[in-house]
Amino acid sequence: MKIDENIKKLAPSIMQDKDFFWNHPEAGFKEFETSKYIIKRLQEIGFTEIHTEIAKTGVVAILRGKTEHPCILLRSDMDAVCMDNNGRMKHTCGHDAHMSILLAVAELLFKNKDKLKGTVKILFQPAEDDIGGAKPMIDEGAMENPKVDKAFGLHVWSELPHGTIGIKEGAVMASTDPFTVKITGKGGHAAIPEKCIDPIYASSQIIEELHNMDKQYNKKERKVVLGITAVHGGSATNVIPETVEMKGICRTYDNQIRIELKQKLQEKMQDISKETGAKIKLKHIEERPVVVNSAEESQVIQQIATEIVGIENVVTNYKTMCSEDFSFFLQEVPGAFVFIGCQQEEYYPQHNENFKVDEKSILLGAQIMYNIAKRYLY
């Protein structure tokens, strides 16, 4: 692993930043202390063009070189995820590492600003892990003035071995379309079901239909995750309830299949409603498209990664059913999302309370993000 001396010298401040973020975890769109700290650090580095309160807590620092273009965007998420046993938020996904990495890259770029032939936007995004802050930032103009040409992001990743870099062209993270279903029947005494419209029976039909759809898609080797994950209805042995509420998930690596599935879900709900007499309301929430890396940028990053960790440690075929709202940036411009392997001997997955990121993985993340910026801007 080749880590530049100028990055190694920043290790103490990088880990100091990470310690702050680790000890001040905040929920999506509530990253107020996080945002203040990022602004303070950017000012200490020397940035003067800092745009704040984008999508409530988002921050964009702009560093301009000799020309306006090319303009590249480097992005980090900000929010914490998961509650600990005391009901407190924790950084159990690695966003504390991402912010520390991006601040280090910002410092390296600022120190070498005379070399810049274009513009770099350093973007800190709220609410990635739950609500989704990428689209609101885009809607509020984060990719304009100047207009972004290419976008890059990364994620420390427990599924890949320590010291590896995952960079694949095409789909690398799945879409996610969580949904809710409310089934309204006609409640009554369980002894006279013929006088009722049973929403529990309707819910069982929905569960079976979705299970069959999931199997049909996966037989065609088109990976889909589709099913119901929560069911709430009824409270007594002798009462048919009025309503049943369910939650479910739909994920795929293909944006066209994603659209197709949403249409088919609506059609199936209508069919089951006609069959059972129950009213069925389907609502999609927190929708995110597939993360699709563009071919040219992926190939460039594969070369950069090879220079840093060696070709044997560059993973070019990894993708995951997890989702990421960085997909919205990649719908706007070409770019790529990179995985930094951080799996330790004692394995803990993302969102586990014991998940942590070591210094070497953070320095590796800083190295590849800085090298990406250099490739396009120096």
Residue 39 is part of a domain; what is its CATH number?
3.40.630.10
Indicate if 293 and 280 belong to the same structural domain: no
128 plus 250 within the same structural domain:
no
Write the CB contacts of 312 (distance below 8 Å, at least 6 apart in sequence).
Answer: none
**CATH number reported for the structural domain that contains residue 221 in this entry:** 3.30.70.360
Q: At what angle do helices 359-377 and 295-309 cross, to 10 degrees?
A: 130
Strand-pair partners of 230: 247
Same domain? 9 vs 124: yes
Please check whether residues 164 and 313 belong to one and the same domain: yes
- Of residues 326, 325, 353, the one with CA closest to residue 89: 353
Same domain? 132 vs 243:
no
C-alpha separations of 246 from 178, 180, 280 in Å:
11, 6, 11
Please indicate, yes or no, whether residues 194 and 62 belong to a single structural domain of this protein. Answer: no
CA 185 to centroid of chain Cα atoms? 37
* pLDDT tier at 342, thresholds 50, 70, 90: very high
pTM tops 0.85, yes or no: yes
Angle among Cα 234, 237, 239 to the nearest 5 degrees reads: 60
For residue 189, the enclosing domain spans: 179-284
Give the pLDDT confidence of 17-31 residue by residue, as tens digits: 999 999 999 999 999
**Torsion angle (degrees, nearest 10) of CA 11, 14, 18, 21:** 170
* Same domain for 247 and 167: no
Q: Which of 284, 303, 326 is the endpoint of a domain?
A: 284
Name the pLDDT band for 83 (thresholds 50, 70, 90): low
Please state the φ and ψ torsions of residue 263, each to the nearest 5 degrees.
-70, -45
In total, how many domains does the chain have? 2
Domain final residue, candidates 284, 300, 320: 284
Residue 47 CB: number of other CB atoms within 10 A? 19
Span 109-120, mean pLDDT? 97
Distance CA 62, CA 249 (A): 38
- Does the structure show a pLDDT above 80 at 220? no
> Based on the domain organization, do 335 and 316 belong to the same domain?
yes
Mean pLDDT score of the chain? 95
Q: Is residue 262 located within the same domain as residue 309?
A: no
Return d(Cα 73, Cα 66) in angstroms, integer: 17
Q: Are 239 and 249 in contact (CB under 8 A)?
A: no
User: Are 296 and 280 found together in one domain?
Assistant: no
Verify that 119 and 86 share a domain, yes or no: yes
* pLDDT tens-digit series, residues 159-209: 999 999 999 999 999 999 999 999 999 999 999 999 999 999 999 999 999
Residues 147 and 130 in one domain: yes
Q: Which band of pLDDT confidence, cut at 50, 70 and 90, is reported for residue 144?
A: very high
Q: Which of 233, 268, 284 is the last residue of a domain?
A: 284
